[in-house]
Amino acid sequence: MANIFDVAKYILEQNGEWMSTSILQKLCYYAQAWALVWSDGTPLFNEDFQAWRNGPVCQELFDVLTDPYTIDADEFKVGSSECLTPNEKDTIKTVFQAYGNLDAHDIMMQTHSEFPWKNARVGLSKDEVRGRIITKDSMGEYYGSL
């Protein structure tokens, strides 16, 4: 199975230029969400997302991003797109085409309007940066209902 670093690397290669790390996190989130829907519940990777104040964040990905604001494929030294199957690459390309044109604010607001993030933030103040895990089950159920 691929990991989040493989997915992030492929997204960065598709983008072809510097990308906001915030956008990268959310594109990985949406790739996972839609993979769960389109592959009968099989995740792209095992890592989880947490409902941080500014949207879904995978702690493992956050920890390897050397610049907190931008990254490109050449600077991202972990992961390999070669670990992805053709079907996984198709899923990621479709997600990139659907969400890749959104700026950081718009994609954040998109995630904030959706049940999985909102549900994982229940009971937390808006000032709390980190949140609870957004379960793969909640992602699959919500996006599968759209």
What does the pLDDT look like over 72-107, one tens digit per residue? Answer: 999 999 999 999 999 999 999 999 999 999 999 999
- Domain-wise residue ranges, the chain: 4-144
- pLDDT level of residue 121 (50, 70, 90 thresholds): very high
Put simply, whether the predicted model's pTM sits higher than 0.85 gets the answer yes
Calculate the CA 1 to chain-centre distance. 17
Locate 48 and state its tokens. Answer: 């989880």
- pLDDT level of residue 59 (50, 70, 90 thresholds): very high
